[in-house]
Structure 1
Amino acid sequence: MITRRGFMKVLGGGLVSAVALGSYAFGIEPLARLRVARYALTPPGWSPGLKLRLVALADVHACEPWMSARRIASICERANDLGGDVTVLLGDYASGMNLVTRYVHSSEWSKALATLRAPLGVHAIMGNHDWWEDRTAQKSGGGDTFGHRALAGVGIQVYGNRAVRLEKSGFPFWLAGLEDQLALLPGRKWKRAWMGGLDDLDGTLAQVTDEAPVILLAHEPDIFPKVPSRVALTLSGHTHGGQVRFAGHSPVVPSRFGDRYAYGHIVEGDRNLIVSGGLGCSIAPIRFGVPPEIVVVDLG
Structure 2
Amino acid sequence: MISRRGFFKTVGASFLSMMALGSYAVAEPLVRLRTARYALTPPGWTPGLKLRIVALADFHACQPWMPAERIVSICEQANALQPDVVLLLGDYVSGMRLVTDRMAPDVWAQALSTLQAPLGVHAVLGNHDWWEDAEVQRQGGGTPASRRVLEAVGIPVYSNRALRLEKEGRGFWLAGVEDQLAILPRRGHPEIRKDDLAGTLAQVTDAAPVILMAHEPDIFPQVPGRVSLTLSGHTHGGQVRLFGYAPVVPSRFGDRYVYGHVREGGRDLIVSGGLGCSGLPIRFGAPPEIVAIDLG
TM-score by length of 2: 0.99
Q: Tell whether 2:107 aligns with 1:111.
A: no
SS at match of 1:253: coil
Counterpart among 266, 275, 280 of residue 279 in structure 1:
275
Counterpart among 266, 272, 288 of residue 270 in structure 1:
266
Q: Tell whether 2:79 aligns with 1:80.
A: yes
Name the structure 2 match of 1:170.
169
SS at match of 1:36: strand
Name the structure 1 match of 2:150.
151
Give me the identity figure in percent. Answer: 69
The Cα shift of 1:143 comes to: 2.4
Q: Tell whether 2:66 aligns with 1:94.
A: no
Maintained 8 Å contact 1:73/1:115 = yes
Aligned equivalents of 2:254 and 2:164: distance in 1? 34
SS at match of 1:60: coil
The Cα shift of 1:139 comes to: 2.1
Aligned partner of 2:176: which letter?
G
Deviations 1:135-184 (A, max 9, x none): 11112222210000000000001100000000001110000000000000
Aligned equivalents of 1:142 and 1:243: distance in 2? 29
Within-5 A mapping of 1:12-51: 12-26=12-26, 28-51=27-50
Name the structure 2 match of 1:299.
295
Aligned partner of 1:25: which letter?
A
Aligned pair count reads: 296
The Cα shift of 1:247 comes to: 2.5
Q: Tell whether 2:196 aligns with 1:200.
A: yes
Aligned partner of 2:11: which letter?
L
Aligned partner of 1:185: which letter?
L
Within-5 A mapping of 1:189-268: 192=189, 194-268=190-264
Name the structure 1 match of 2:136.
137
Aligned equivalents of 2:281 and 2:107: distance in 1? 21
Maintained 8 Å contact 1:53/1:297 = yes
Aligned equivalents of 1:232 and 1:247: distance in 2? 31
SS at match of 2:269: strand
Runs (4+) of structure 1 exceeding 4 A deviation are: none
Aligned partner of 2:14: which letter?
G
Name the structure 2 match of 1:126.
125
SS at match of 2:7: helix
The Cα shift of 1:251 comes to: 1.0
SS at match of 1:157: coil
Aligned partner of 2:124: which letter?
I
Aligned equivalents of 2:209 and 2:99: distance in 1? 42
The Cα shift of 1:259 comes to: 0.7
TM-score by length of 1: 0.97
Aligned partner of 1:10: which letter?
T
Aligned equivalents of 1:153 and 1:279: distance in 2? 23
Deviations 1:106-160 (A, max 9, x none): 0100000001000000000000000001111112222210000000000001100
RMSD (Å) for aligned C-alpha atoms: 0.8
Q: Tell whether 2:58 aligns with 1:56.
A: no
Maintained 8 Å contact 1:161/1:204 = yes
Maintained 8 Å contact 1:213/1:230 = yes
Aligned equivalents of 2:139 and 2:209: distance in 1? 35
Gaps of 5+ in 1: none
The Cα shift of 1:195 comes to: 1.4
Aligned partner of 2:205: which letter?
T
Aligned equivalents of 2:114 and 2:142: distance in 1? 26
Deviations 1:219-271 (A, max 9, x none): 00000010011100000000001100123221100000111101111111200
Aligned equivalents of 2:91 and 2:83: distance in 1? 21
Aligned equivalents of 1:197 and 1:165: distance in 2? 25
Aligned equivalents of 1:271 and 1:15: distance in 2? 46
Maintained 8 Å contact 1:96/1:281 = no
